[in-house]
A = this chain, B = another copy of it.
Amino acid sequence: MLKEFASKELPKVEKEMCDFINAHTTNKDLKEAMLYSLQAGGKRIRPLIVLSTAYSFCGQLGVNAYQTAAALEMIHTYSLIHDDLPAMDDDDLRRGKPTNHKVFGEALAILAGDGLFTSAFQSMTQMIMEPEEKLLLIQLLTKAAGTEGMVAGQAGDMAAEKTQVSLEVLKRIHREKTGALLTYAFVAGGILAQQTEYVLDQLQQLGAHMGLAFQIRDDLLDVVGTTEDLGKKVGQDARQEKSTYPRLLGVEGAKQALVKELSAAKKIINQLMEVDDFDAALLEDLVRMFTL
Protein backbone atom coordinates (compact mmCIF):
# COMPACT_ATOMS: atom_id res chain seq x y z
CA MET A 1 0.00 0.00 0.00
CA LEU A 2 2.82 2.41 0.86
CA LYS A 3 4.41 1.69 -2.51
CA GLU A 4 1.28 2.69 -4.44
CA PHE A 5 0.82 5.70 -2.18
CA ALA A 6 4.41 6.78 -2.85
CA SER A 7 4.07 6.30 -6.63
CA LYS A 8 0.94 8.40 -6.64
CA GLU A 9 1.92 11.16 -4.20
CA LEU A 10 5.70 11.69 -4.41
CA PRO A 11 5.67 13.03 -7.98
CA LYS A 12 3.61 15.95 -6.64
CA VAL A 13 6.40 16.69 -4.16
CA GLU A 14 8.98 16.56 -6.98
CA LYS A 15 6.87 19.04 -8.91
CA GLU A 16 6.54 21.38 -5.91
CA MET A 17 10.32 21.41 -5.42
CA CYS A 18 11.23 21.96 -9.06
CA ASP A 19 8.50 24.52 -9.70
CA PHE A 20 9.59 26.57 -6.70
CA ILE A 21 13.29 26.50 -7.62
CA ASN A 22 12.51 27.32 -11.24
CA ALA A 23 10.33 30.27 -10.26
CA HIS A 24 12.53 31.65 -7.49
CA THR A 25 16.17 31.31 -8.57
CA THR A 26 17.52 34.19 -10.60
CA ASN A 27 21.00 32.79 -11.27
CA LYS A 28 21.14 30.17 -14.02
CA ASP A 29 24.19 28.23 -12.77
CA LEU A 30 22.86 28.18 -9.24
CA LYS A 31 19.47 26.91 -10.42
CA GLU A 32 21.13 24.15 -12.44
CA ALA A 33 23.24 23.02 -9.47
CA MET A 34 20.23 23.04 -7.12
CA LEU A 35 18.01 21.11 -9.54
CA TYR A 36 20.79 18.59 -10.23
CA SER A 37 20.82 17.38 -6.64
CA LEU A 38 17.06 17.62 -6.20
CA GLN A 39 16.51 15.53 -9.30
CA ALA A 40 19.20 12.96 -8.51
CA GLY A 41 16.48 10.77 -7.04
CA GLY A 42 16.76 9.19 -3.64
CA LYS A 43 14.08 7.42 -1.69
CA ARG A 44 12.28 10.58 -0.54
CA ILE A 45 11.79 9.02 2.89
CA ARG A 46 11.14 12.34 4.63
CA PRO A 47 8.44 13.60 2.26
CA LEU A 48 6.93 10.12 2.30
CA ILE A 49 6.71 10.24 6.10
CA VAL A 50 5.07 13.70 6.06
CA LEU A 51 2.48 12.63 3.49
CA SER A 52 1.75 9.16 4.88
CA THR A 53 1.42 10.48 8.44
CA ALA A 54 -0.96 13.27 7.42
CA TYR A 55 -2.93 10.86 5.25
CA SER A 56 -3.19 8.26 8.03
CA PHE A 57 -5.19 10.69 10.13
CA CYS A 58 -7.46 12.34 7.61
CA GLY A 59 -7.45 10.23 4.44
CA GLN A 60 -6.63 13.21 2.23
CA LEU A 61 -3.80 15.61 1.45
CA GLY A 62 -3.92 19.36 0.87
CA VAL A 63 -1.41 21.38 -1.11
CA ASN A 64 0.28 22.42 2.17
CA ALA A 65 1.25 18.80 2.81
CA TYR A 66 3.12 18.61 -0.51
CA GLN A 67 4.73 21.99 0.13
CA THR A 68 5.90 21.01 3.61
CA ALA A 69 7.19 17.69 2.28
CA ALA A 70 9.01 19.52 -0.53
CA ALA A 71 10.61 22.00 1.89
CA LEU A 72 11.81 19.17 4.10
CA GLU A 73 13.38 17.34 1.16
CA MET A 74 15.11 20.58 0.10
CA ILE A 75 16.61 20.84 3.60
CA HIS A 76 17.71 17.21 3.44
CA THR A 77 19.23 17.72 -0.02
CA TYR A 78 21.14 20.83 1.11
CA SER A 79 22.60 18.83 3.99
CA LEU A 80 23.73 16.06 1.61
CA ILE A 81 25.45 18.54 -0.70
CA HIS A 82 27.38 20.14 2.16
CA ASP A 83 28.06 16.75 3.77
CA ASP A 84 29.61 15.40 0.56
CA LEU A 85 32.09 18.32 0.23
CA PRO A 86 35.81 17.50 0.29
CA ALA A 87 36.20 19.27 3.65
CA MET A 88 33.42 17.13 5.11
CA ASP A 89 32.84 13.46 4.07
CA ASP A 90 34.54 13.90 0.68
CA ASP A 91 32.16 11.69 -1.28
CA ASP A 92 32.31 11.41 -5.07
CA LEU A 93 29.12 9.46 -5.52
CA ARG A 94 25.60 10.07 -4.21
CA ARG A 95 22.47 8.24 -5.29
CA GLY A 96 24.55 6.62 -8.05
CA LYS A 97 25.59 9.95 -9.57
CA PRO A 98 28.61 12.23 -9.14
CA THR A 99 28.15 14.49 -6.12
CA ASN A 100 27.25 18.15 -6.62
CA HIS A 101 30.76 19.55 -6.18
CA LYS A 102 32.15 16.95 -8.59
CA VAL A 103 29.91 18.37 -11.31
CA PHE A 104 29.66 22.06 -10.42
CA GLY A 105 32.76 22.71 -8.33
CA GLU A 106 32.98 23.33 -4.60
CA ALA A 107 31.99 26.98 -4.61
CA LEU A 108 28.73 26.47 -6.47
CA ALA A 109 28.01 23.34 -4.41
CA ILE A 110 28.28 25.38 -1.20
CA LEU A 111 25.94 27.99 -2.68
CA ALA A 112 23.53 25.36 -4.02
CA GLY A 113 23.25 24.04 -0.45
CA ASP A 114 22.74 27.54 0.92
CA GLY A 115 20.17 28.20 -1.79
CA LEU A 116 18.16 25.03 -1.13
CA PHE A 117 18.16 25.85 2.53
CA THR A 118 16.73 29.33 1.99
CA SER A 119 14.29 28.14 -0.65
CA ALA A 120 12.87 25.59 1.78
CA PHE A 121 11.96 28.28 4.29
CA GLN A 122 10.96 30.80 1.63
CA SER A 123 8.50 28.31 0.16
CA MET A 124 7.03 27.53 3.57
CA THR A 125 6.41 31.20 4.35
CA GLN A 126 4.35 31.35 1.14
CA MET A 127 1.98 28.51 2.08
CA ILE A 128 -1.69 29.47 2.31
CA MET A 129 -2.74 28.44 5.82
CA GLU A 130 -3.41 29.70 9.35
CA PRO A 131 -0.43 31.90 10.36
CA GLU A 132 -0.05 30.17 13.75
CA GLU A 133 0.06 26.70 12.19
CA LYS A 134 2.48 27.87 9.49
CA LEU A 135 4.76 29.45 12.08
CA LEU A 136 4.74 26.24 14.12
CA LEU A 137 5.73 24.18 11.06
CA ILE A 138 8.54 26.64 10.25
CA GLN A 139 9.73 26.95 13.84
CA LEU A 140 9.97 23.19 14.40
CA LEU A 141 11.86 22.82 11.11
CA THR A 142 14.43 25.49 12.01
CA LYS A 143 14.95 23.67 15.28
CA ALA A 144 15.23 20.22 13.69
CA ALA A 145 17.57 21.42 10.94
CA GLY A 146 19.71 23.69 13.10
CA THR A 147 22.07 23.88 16.02
CA GLU A 148 19.84 21.79 18.29
CA GLY A 149 19.34 19.27 15.50
CA MET A 150 20.93 18.35 12.21
CA VAL A 151 23.78 20.88 12.05
CA ALA A 152 24.78 20.06 15.65
CA GLY A 153 24.65 16.36 14.80
CA GLN A 154 26.94 16.86 11.82
CA ALA A 155 29.44 18.72 13.98
CA GLY A 156 29.24 15.91 16.53
CA ASP A 157 29.61 13.31 13.81
CA MET A 158 32.78 15.01 12.54
CA ALA A 159 34.30 15.06 16.00
CA ALA A 160 33.36 11.39 16.46
CA GLU A 161 35.36 10.48 13.36
CA LYS A 162 38.57 11.31 15.12
CA THR A 163 37.86 9.21 18.18
CA GLN A 164 35.88 6.21 19.44
CA VAL A 165 32.71 7.36 21.14
CA SER A 166 30.37 5.57 23.54
CA LEU A 167 27.01 4.19 22.45
CA GLU A 168 25.33 6.99 24.37
CA VAL A 169 27.24 9.71 22.49
CA LEU A 170 26.63 7.95 19.18
CA LYS A 171 22.90 7.85 19.90
CA ARG A 172 22.84 11.57 20.67
CA ILE A 173 24.72 12.39 17.47
CA HIS A 174 22.27 10.39 15.40
CA ARG A 175 19.26 11.73 17.26
CA GLU A 176 20.44 15.15 16.12
CA LYS A 177 21.96 14.34 12.73
CA THR A 178 19.23 12.22 11.17
CA GLY A 179 16.66 11.74 13.92
CA ALA A 180 15.62 15.38 14.19
CA LEU A 181 14.49 15.73 10.57
CA LEU A 182 12.81 12.32 10.52
CA THR A 183 11.00 13.13 13.74
CA TYR A 184 9.97 16.47 12.26
CA ALA A 185 8.47 14.60 9.29
CA PHE A 186 6.10 12.65 11.57
CA VAL A 187 5.19 15.65 13.71
CA ALA A 188 4.64 17.88 10.67
CA GLY A 189 2.30 15.24 9.26
CA GLY A 190 0.34 15.41 12.50
CA ILE A 191 0.21 19.21 12.47
CA LEU A 192 -0.97 19.21 8.86
CA ALA A 193 -3.73 16.77 9.90
CA GLN A 194 -4.68 19.13 12.77
CA GLN A 195 -3.94 16.62 15.50
CA THR A 196 -3.90 17.25 19.28
CA GLU A 197 -0.86 17.87 21.47
CA TYR A 198 -1.16 14.29 22.73
CA VAL A 199 -0.96 12.85 19.22
CA LEU A 200 1.91 15.16 18.27
CA ASP A 201 3.76 13.91 21.32
CA GLN A 202 3.19 10.29 20.26
CA LEU A 203 4.43 11.14 16.77
CA GLN A 204 7.51 12.75 18.29
CA GLN A 205 8.30 9.48 20.08
CA LEU A 206 7.53 7.45 16.97
CA GLY A 207 9.94 9.67 15.04
CA ALA A 208 12.68 9.18 17.62
CA HIS A 209 12.51 5.39 17.31
CA MET A 210 12.22 5.47 13.55
CA GLY A 211 15.12 7.93 13.30
CA LEU A 212 17.38 5.69 15.33
CA ALA A 213 16.23 2.64 13.33
CA PHE A 214 17.00 4.51 10.12
CA GLN A 215 20.56 5.26 11.21
CA ILE A 216 21.27 1.75 12.52
CA ARG A 217 20.00 0.36 9.23
CA ASP A 218 22.12 2.85 7.27
CA ASP A 219 25.22 1.84 9.24
CA LEU A 220 24.44 -1.84 8.71
CA LEU A 221 23.97 -1.39 4.97
CA ASP A 222 27.41 0.22 4.77
CA VAL A 223 28.75 -3.11 6.09
CA VAL A 224 26.47 -5.66 4.45
CA GLY A 225 25.21 -3.76 1.36
CA THR A 226 26.74 -3.26 -2.11
CA THR A 227 27.66 -0.08 -3.99
CA GLU A 228 25.31 -1.16 -6.76
CA ASP A 229 22.32 -1.52 -4.43
CA LEU A 230 22.91 1.69 -2.56
CA GLY A 231 24.17 4.03 -5.25
CA LYS A 232 27.02 5.11 -3.00
CA LYS A 233 30.33 3.59 -1.99
CA VAL A 234 29.95 1.00 0.79
CA GLY A 235 32.59 0.37 3.44
CA GLN A 236 33.21 4.12 3.74
CA ASP A 237 32.53 4.15 7.48
CA ALA A 238 35.13 1.46 8.19
CA ARG A 239 37.70 3.16 5.93
CA GLN A 240 37.10 6.45 7.73
CA GLU A 241 37.16 4.64 11.08
CA LYS A 242 33.78 6.12 11.94
CA SER A 243 31.93 5.20 15.10
CA THR A 244 28.92 3.20 13.95
CA TYR A 245 26.44 0.77 15.50
CA PRO A 246 28.02 -2.32 13.90
CA ARG A 247 31.40 -1.17 15.16
CA LEU A 248 30.18 -0.61 18.71
CA LEU A 249 27.68 -3.47 18.94
CA GLY A 250 28.87 -5.91 16.28
CA VAL A 251 26.71 -6.67 13.23
CA GLU A 252 24.40 -8.97 15.19
CA GLY A 253 24.11 -6.53 18.08
CA ALA A 254 23.23 -3.72 15.65
CA LYS A 255 20.61 -5.92 13.99
CA GLN A 256 19.05 -6.57 17.40
CA ALA A 257 19.08 -2.85 18.20
CA LEU A 258 17.29 -2.19 14.90
CA VAL A 259 14.59 -4.74 15.75
CA LYS A 260 14.15 -3.19 19.18
CA GLU A 261 13.61 0.33 17.79
CA LEU A 262 11.15 -0.91 15.19
CA SER A 263 9.18 -2.83 17.86
CA ALA A 264 8.90 0.33 19.90
CA ALA A 265 7.69 2.17 16.78
CA LYS A 266 5.03 -0.48 16.13
CA LYS A 267 3.82 -0.19 19.71
CA ILE A 268 3.23 3.54 19.29
CA ILE A 269 1.39 3.00 16.02
CA ASN A 270 -0.86 0.53 17.83
CA GLN A 271 -1.59 3.13 20.48
CA LEU A 272 -2.48 5.67 17.78
CA MET A 273 -5.26 3.35 16.62
CA GLU A 274 -7.34 4.79 19.45
CA VAL A 275 -7.45 8.10 17.55
CA ASP A 276 -10.66 8.60 15.53
CA ASP A 277 -10.29 7.92 11.80
CA PHE A 278 -6.65 6.85 12.15
CA ASP A 279 -5.64 4.16 9.63
CA ALA A 280 -2.39 2.42 10.58
CA ALA A 281 -1.70 0.72 7.24
CA LEU A 282 0.72 3.26 5.73
CA LEU A 283 2.77 3.71 8.90
CA GLU A 284 2.96 -0.05 9.41
CA ASP A 285 4.33 -0.36 5.88
CA LEU A 286 6.83 2.36 6.71
CA VAL A 287 8.11 0.34 9.66
CA ARG A 288 8.45 -2.68 7.35
CA MET A 289 10.44 -0.53 4.93
CA PHE A 290 12.94 0.27 7.71
CA THR A 291 13.76 -3.40 8.31
CA LEU A 292 16.90 -4.81 6.71
What residues make up the interface of A, taking CB atoms closer than 8 Å to B? 21, 24-27, 29-31, 34, 82, 85, 87-88, 105-108, 110-111, 113-115, 117-119, 121-122, 125-126, 131-132, 134-135, 138-139, 142-143, 145-148, 151-156, 158-159, 176
Contact A26 B148 (CB under 8 A): yes
From A21, A111, A153, A159, residue with most partner B Cβ within 10 Å: A111
List B contacts of A158 (CB < 8 A). Answer: 107-108, 111
User: How many chain copies?
Assistant: 2
Chain B nearest Cβ from A71, distance in angstroms: 11
Chain B nearest Cβ from A156, distance in angstroms: 5
Contact A24 B147 (CB under 8 A): yes
List B contacts of A110 (CB < 8 A). Answer: 82, 85, 87-88, 110
Contact A138 B125 (CB under 8 A): yes
Q: A132 CA to B138 CA in the complex, in Å?
A: 14
Contact A147 B88 (CB under 8 A): no
Beyond A131-B135, A148-B24, whether A155 also contacts B30 by CB under 8 A is yes
Chain B nearest Cβ from A153, distance in angstroms: 8
Contact B25 A147 (CB under 8 A): yes
**Selected A-B contacts with CB under 8 Å, 24 pairs:** A25-B148, A25-B152, A31-B147, A85-B107, A108-B155, A108-B158, A110-B110, A111-B151, A113-B114, A114-B117, A115-B147, A115-B151, A117-B117, A117-B118, A118-B145, A118-B147, A119-B147, A121-B142, A122-B139, A122-B146, A122-B147, A126-B139, A131-B131, A138-B138
List B contacts of A24 (CB < 8 A). Answer: 146-148
Contact A30 B85 (CB under 8 A): no
List B contacts of A27 (CB < 8 A). Answer: 147, 152-153, 155-156, 159, 176
List B contacts of A152 (CB < 8 A). Answer: 25-27, 30, 115
Q: A134 CA to B131 CA in the complex, in Å?
A: 9
List B contacts of A146 (CB < 8 A). Answer: 24, 115, 118-119, 122
Nearest 5 A/B pairs, CB to CB: A118-B146, A87-B106, A131-B131, A125-B139, A122-B142
